[in-house]
Amino acid sequence: MKFLAAASALSLAALPVMADSADPIKLTLHDWSGQLITTTLMGEVLKAGGHNVEYVQADYIAQFAGLETGDLHVAMEIWETTGREAMDAATGTGKVVNLGSTGMDAIEEWWFPSYMKDVCPGLPNWEALNDCASEFATAETAPMGRYLGGPVTWGGFDDERVEALEMDFEVVHAGTDAALFAELESAYQRKAPIVLWIYSPHWAPAKYDGEFVEFPPYSVECYNDPSVGINPDAAYDCGKPTGPIWKVAHAGLQESHPDATKAIVNFNISNADMGAMVAEVDLNGKSVEETVAAWMDANQDTWKAWLN
Amino acid sequence: MRRWITWSTGFWVGLFAVTWLLSSYSFQLYKALDARWIVRFPKAYELPTESRISALLDWLVDSAHFVFFTFRDLTRAIAALIEIPYQFLRNLLIEGFQSGLGAEAVQIAPSLSWIAVIGVAVLIAHFARDLSLGALTGVCFLYLAVFGQWASAMVTMASVLIAVPIGAVGGLLLGIAAYRSPLFEKLLRPFLDLMQTVPVFAYLVPVLILFGFGPVAALVATVIYAMPPMVRVTIVALKAVPEEIKEAGRMVGCTRHQMMWKVLVPSASPALMVGVNQVIMLTLNMVIIASMIGAGGLGFDVLASLRRLDIGGGIEAGLAIVVMAIALDRVSQAFASRGVHEHRSGSYLKRHPWTSTSFAIIVGTLLLGQFIPAVQTYPKDLTITTGPFWTASIEWINVNFFDAFEAIKLVVLQGLLLPVKKFFTGIPWAWGIIATGLFAWKLAGWRMGLMAMLFMAFISASGLWGKTMVTIYLCGVSVFLASLIGIPLGIWAAERPRAGRVILGLMDTLQTLPSFVYLIPVVMLFRVGDFSAMIAVVLYALAPAVRYAAFGLREVPAHLIEAGRMAGCTPRQILFRIKLPLATPHLLLGLNQTIMLALSMLVITALVGTRDLGQEVYIALTKANAGQGIVAGLCVAFIAIIADRVVHAAADGQRRRLGL
């Protein structure tokens, strides 16, 4: 008996010190490539650090219920711009914790393809865009221009923005982002006029040549206080905020897997690195695993530092 | 007779005229009387159903206690129970058996090789009917391997193999219970209606919370959706067992138990297999939605490809679902029509040729697979893809024909969609409740009229009147167009059997191909909006209109057609004077199914951007608001139930008038 105990103590000493439980850490996967890359990268780094990892598919918002109960452990991409409300509700219960930014910043704004500059020379200025609103008109919206917004659930206050800035545009909401990019692809193939909601990091700004519209810069006051900004009587008379993409975890993870939690907190990657990987996957047809492995090969020092 | 017609026509004309007047002038009326309640249900009187349901669910999840365990313990235990066979099948079909976790995992046994799975599938099909069915099944499964869909397809297969038995056996048992106790049948009926008509999106969130994240929750949602037809079929099938057979059972002194399992169930089994077939089809319909909450597999591939606009990839993964559906459907139908075979004699090998061949293939490929990897896993280099072809064709159509499509779209939009939308959305809610009641009363009796009024009142009081009217408008226009296209196609299919085979095959494909696959090209060609949504709904809801029309025409008794021919009718007269009138009950049932499918599709079209109940359900899902989702889901269900009862009543009335 004594011998056994000694042997196990020995074998423990031989391995790197690991306070973490051997239960797999459950990371959630959603359905856009950037998130799959971020999560796979985190998972592979954790595996390299000797942790057990399991990937679980879950819906972006619905996953919070699972994070609260501990069915799920880590969600790698909660966007300030689209997930804030759900994240605040979840962290408010005390069962979910915010592990800080991923290092990536989300940009969401009106976007147009470069060929529209020929028709509308003043772009990307928003006033110039407004002056050629009729170029963007379709039969259903004429004489107003047509702006294709994101799903209503994304928020974004585009209807309010159009009112506040007195723009001659009608906001049409797509139901999902797949529909959004289907329209962009269609218009781009025909070099037809289009202005729509695009976000980054995403493959679309890498695939299509274009720019974000420049609105008056965002400020908290602009959104909250009507008197601030160009239109003295309305809020939202400015562009959209940019914001970090957050990592969140089940609160119990810190106790069961303290080392892994540290590594997750340390995880940090730039928009440029992520944009390049997303393009590899979505435009060059590489698999997520290949792309992540290639990045890990090239950036050994970066990710090894996360584990310490 | 003449008087009755005038009264009835008068009723309809009057009802329409009043509705039209009120719809056109409701806004002026509100301004003139300064009564905003005419166009908007007063906020102060709205029912707090949403928050009540949310609170009820919170209670169920957090604090419901049955002495020894909580409600969630119960659901989690069920989940764990389903997890065991599911995980086993996944290991068997694709993942292989391992022990240990992560880096220390040791493989105990590999999964079945692709050759073994195809071989066993072919043998089962051969056993069910004949060699040609075996060949068809083999080709279907080979598609999965050759087009690189194998791994995902096996994940989907594992969930189908779990969901179908649970759905079929559960449905059978519920059906038997309902057959034994008429009271239970009465209690069960409304639940079946709701299970079939409440959009799945509406209860995904509660299911996730109760059953945990992952494939099991998706399986539970699938079973809820796929089981009701099995229950209904079981009840009908058991009731249809001839009295003589039951009498025979009684004469030989069967106990209640023996009577059920040795007499009734076996003699009803061909009909029961129709129910199983329905369960399979509905399970495959759910593949996409199930993948949204973690089932993975083919559904996930479809969604992921379309999110990066890889249309070809989406079509290939979608077609993989179609071929799987075809294989499973044909084999299950073969089992349904399979008679009793004679017992074979001789050695074990001779008595069980299929079992022993399967065993030989499995063991053989298992051993060979250790030395030749290609036997174990289909070699990646040999997969082919048609992706670039699809992408290029859509681009070509888009660049060359967009303007032509745009012109057609404008005509339909201005001539049909917009006026109908204006008519429906203009109806003031108070009159809408009364009008629906009158409509249902006239066609289905006063009970139904009362129920319809209650349903519509619930909808108004939930603050969803506007969205409901948009739903009815989109659904109505789509059903109209689907019938306009579908019924002639069905007639054609019935009159010309060869064309019929092609048309019906096409309908099978349209119905099992996940709608998401064609939703994205439709958006590329017609932009986001009602028109795109309508096209997607029409494509999906076309199938029953065609099928019931074809079936109805074929069912017309031959002696009546013969009589017509003797009387010197031309083929045209036979069609319009004899066949079509006699087929109206079937046409109406087809209409009923078309409405049901259109309603279920509206939830999917919310993904392209409509402003109806489907959108409400979808918003609730993305915000994880269980109460909002269920209330909107109930509204959809109520419309469906009203439509269902009214059309059924109309079909019954027609049948009685024709003396069928």
Instruction: Give, for B268, the enclosing helix (H) or strand (E).
Output: none
B298 Cα to chain A: minimum distance (Å) = 13
Where are chain A's structural domains? 16-104+245-307, 106-224
pLDDT, tens only, B346-381: 777 777 777 888 888 888 887 887 787 777 778 877
- For residue A13, the model assigns a pLDDT of 40
Closest-CA distance, A204 to chain B, in angstroms, reads 9
Q: Which residues in chain A touch residue B528, judged by CB atoms under 8 angstroms apart?
A: 148, 172-175, 179-180, 183
Minimum Cα–Cα distance from B395: chain A residue:
A189
Distance from CA of A229 to the nearest CA of B (A): 31
CA torsion B181-B187-B192-B193 (nearest 10°) is: 130
Closest CB from A47, A62, A185 relative to B309:
A185
- Mean pLDDT across A54-70: 83
Interchain CB distance below 8 Å, A186 and B523: yes
Q: Residue B228 pairs with which residues in a beta bridge?
A: none
For residue B630, with 0-12 CB atoms within 10 Å meaning exposed, 13-18 middle and 19 or more buried, which class applies?
A: buried
A138/B527 touch (CB, cutoff 8 Å), yes or no: yes
Task: Tell me which chain A residue has its CA closest to the CA of residue B394.
Answer: A186
* Minimum distance, in Å, between the CA of residue B396 and any CA atom of chain A: 9
Tens of pLDDT, residues B30-62: 778 777 777 778 877 888 888 888 888 878 777
B412 contacts chain A (CB < 8 A):
no
Contact check, Cβ <8 Å, A175/B624: no
Quick one: B325 and B427 in the same domain? no
User: 3-class DSSP state for residue A99?
Assistant: strand
Do residues A140 and A305 lie in contact, with contact meaning Cβ atoms separated by under 8 Å?
no
pLDDT recorded at residue B358 = 81
Asked if the Cβ–Cβ distance from B208 to A66 is below 8 Å, we say: yes
- Whether the Cβ atoms of residue B621 and residue B629 lie closer than 8 Å to each other: yes
For the beta carbon of residue B465, count every other beta carbon within 10 angstroms: 23
Would you say A95 and A67 are in contact if contact means Cβ atoms under 8 Å apart? yes
CB atoms within 10 A of CB B481: 19
| pLDDT tens by residue, B243-259 | 899 899 889 988 888 88
How close, in Å, is residue A287 to chain B by CA atoms?
A: 12
Q: Using CB atoms within 10 A of its CB, is residue B407 exposed (0-12), middle (13-18) or buried (19+)?
A: exposed
**Residue B291 is assigned to a structural domain of this protein:** yes
Q: Where a domain ends, among B322, B339, B356?
A: B339
Token pair, residue B604, equals 């999917």
**Is the CB of B398 less than 8 angstroms away from the CB of A53?**
no
Contacts with B321 (C-beta within 8 Å, 6 or more apart), sequence order: B156, B284, B287, B298, B299, B302, B512, B513, B514
The answer to whether B394 and B402 are in contact (CB under 8 A) is: no
Tally of CB atoms within 10 A around A142: 11
**CATH fold label, A106-224:** D-Maltodextrin-Binding Protein; domain 2 (3.40.190)
Query: What is the Cα–Cα distance from A74 to A27, expressed in whole angstroms?
Result: 5
Whole-number pLDDT of residue A10: 40
pLDDT band per the 50, 70, 90 thresholds, residue B439: very high
Confidence class for position A2, pLDDT limits 50, 70, 90: very low
Estimate the crossing angle of helix B269-285 against helix B311-336, to 10 degrees.
Answer: 170
Contact residues on chain B for A138, CB-CB shorter than 8 A: 527
User: Is residue B230 situated within a structural domain?
Assistant: yes
**In this model, does residue A193 exceed pLDDT 60?**
yes
Any domain includes B211 = yes
Residue in A with minimal Cα distance to B607: A175
Cβ contact A175–B618 (<8 Å): yes
Cα separation, B638 vs B451, in Å, equals 10
Nearest CA in chain A to B304: A31
The interaxial angle of helices B497-512 and B465-495, nearest 10 deg, is: 150
Chain A positions in Cβ-Cβ contact with residue B524 (cut-off 8 Å): 182-183, 185-186
> Mean of the pLDDT values across residues B320-341?
81
Asked if B606 and A53 come within 8 Å (Cβ–Cβ), the reply is: no
Query: Are both B559 and B452 inside the same structural domain?
Result: yes
pLDDT in the model for residue B130 = 85
Q: Is the pLDDT of residue B205 over 90?
A: no
Please report, for the domain that includes residue B246, its CATH number.
Answer: 1.10.3720.10
CB < 8 Å from A in window 281-310 of B: 291-296, 300, 303-304, 306-309
Residues 536-575, chain B, touching A (beta carbon < 8 A)? none
Cβ-Cβ contacts under 8 Å, A176 against chain B: 607-608
If pLDDT is split at 50, 70 and 90, which confidence band does B341 have?
low
Chain B residues with CB inside 8 Å of A181's CB? Answer: 307, 309
Burial B554-574 (b: 16+ CB within 10 A, else e): bebeeeebeebeeeebeeeeb
Give Cα A236 to chain centroid, integer Å.
Answer: 22
Q: Look at residues A220, A288, A300 and name the one whose alpha carbon lies nearest to residue A76.
A: A288
* Short-list B484, B465, B451, CA closest to B594: B484
How many other C-beta atoms can be found within 10 angstroms of the C-beta atom of residue B450? Answer: 13
Last residue in a domain, options B287, B314, B339: B339
CA atoms within 13 A on the CB side of B655: 14
Residues A97-117 have a mean pLDDT of 92
| Spatial contact of A31 and B300, defined as CB atoms under 8 Å apart | yes
HSE at residue B471, side-chain half, CA atoms within 13 A, is: 30
- Rounded CA separation B541/B600 (Å): 9
Residues in B 510-529 with any Cβ partner in A closer than 8 A = 516, 519-521, 523-525, 527-529
Task: Nearest chain B residue to A186 by CA: give it.
Answer: B524
Q: Compute CA distances A88 → A98, A281, B59, B176, B258, whole Å.
A: 9, 31, 22, 49, 60
Contacts of A22 in chain B (CB under 8 A): 101-102
pLDDT at B71: 81
Q: Is A214 exposed, middle or buried (0-12, 13-18, 19+ CB in 10 A)?
A: middle
**Is A148's CB within 8 Å of B528's CB?**
yes
Cα B347 from Cα B170, distance rounded (Å): 37
CB atoms within 10 A of CB A224: 10
Residues of chain B with Cβ-Cβ distance to A189 below 8 Å are 395, 398-399
Specify whether B626 is located in the same domain as B508. Answer: yes
If one compares B348 and A294, the residue with the highest pLDDT of the two is A294
Q: How many CB pairs under 8 A join A and B?
A: 149
Residue B189 has pLDDT above 70, yes or no: yes
B206–chain A Cβ distance below 8 A for any pair: no
- Looking at the fold, whether B277 and B417 belong to one and the same domain comes out as no
Report the alpha-carbon distance of residue A40 to residue B107 in Å, rounded. 23
Cβ pair B398:A190 closer than 8 A: yes
User: A16-104+245-307 and A106-224: same fold?
Assistant: yes
* B14 burial type by CB count under 10 A (0-12 exposed, 13-18 middle, 19+ buried): exposed
Q: Does an H or E element contain B127, and which? A: helix B114-128
CA distances from A15 to A52, A119, A305 (A): 15, 66, 19
Chain B residues with CB-CB distance to A172 below 8 A = 528-529, 609
Q: Tell me whether B161 touches chain A (CB under 8 Å).
A: no
Inspect the interface and report whether the beta carbons of B607 and A176 lie closer than 8 Å: yes
Tell if the CB–CB gap between A24 and B205 is shorter than 8 Å: no
Question: Phi first, then psi: what are they for B416, rounded to 5°?
Answer: -125, -60
Of A24, A71, A192, the CB nearest to B212: A71
Band (pLDDT 50/70/90 cuts) for residue B101 is low
- The reply to whether B209 touches chain A by the CB within 8 Å rule is yes
Q: What are the CA-CA distances from residue B452 to residues B147, B460, B652 (Å)?
A: 50, 12, 19
Contact A57 B300 (CB under 8 A): yes
Domain shared by B414 and B266, yes or no? no
Residue B353 placed within a domain: no
Query: Is B235's pLDDT higher than 50?
Result: yes
What's the pLDDT tens digit per position in B269-328?
A: 878 887 888 888 889 888 888 887 777 889 888 888 887 788 888 889 999 999 998 898
Residue matched to tokens 């919170």: B58
Pairing of strands A169-173, A74-79: unpaired
Residue B354 backbone dihedrals phi, psi, to 5 degrees: -70, -50
If you average pLDDT over residues B471-488, what whole number do you get?
A: 93
What pLDDT shows up at residue B340?
57
| pLDDT reported for residue B660 | 63
Q: Which residue of B has its CA nearest to A281?
A: B308
Does residue B174 carry a pLDDT above 90? yes
Residues 6+ apart with CB under 8 A from A102: A38, A76, A77, A244, A245, A246, A247, A267, A268, A269
Res A62 pLDDT > 80: no
Q: Which two tokens stand for residue B299?
A: 């559904």
Given CATH 3.40.640.10, say whether it is the number of domain A16-104+245-307. Answer: no
Option in B103, B307, B402 nearest A47 (CB): B103
Same domain, B553 and B632: yes
What domain count does chain B have? Answer: 2
Closest CB from A69, A181, A186 relative to B525:
A186
Which residues of B32-116 form beta strands (DSSP E)? 65-66, 69-70, 97-99, 106-109
Domain that holds residue B200: 162-339
One domain for residues B419 and B513: yes
Burial of A172-207, coded b for 16+ CB within 10 Å and e otherwise, reads: bbbbbbbbbbbbbbbbbeeebbbbbbbbbbbbbbbb
Q: What is the mean pLDDT of residues B546-553?
A: 86
Same domain, B482 and B614: yes
Q: Which of A58, A306, A237 has its CA nearest to residue B205?
A: A58
Are residues B634 and B533 part of one domain? yes
- Please name which of B239, B388, B218, B190 lies closest in space to residue B288, comparing C-alpha atoms: B218
B40 within domain boundaries: no
Binned at pLDDT 50, 70 and 90, residue A16 comes out as very low
Choosing from B281, B313, B339, the residue where a domain stops is: B339
B281 close to B325: Cβ distance less than 8 angstroms: yes
* CA B464 centroid distance within chain: 25
In a domain, B66, yes or no: no
Q: Name beta bridge partners: A112.
A: A211
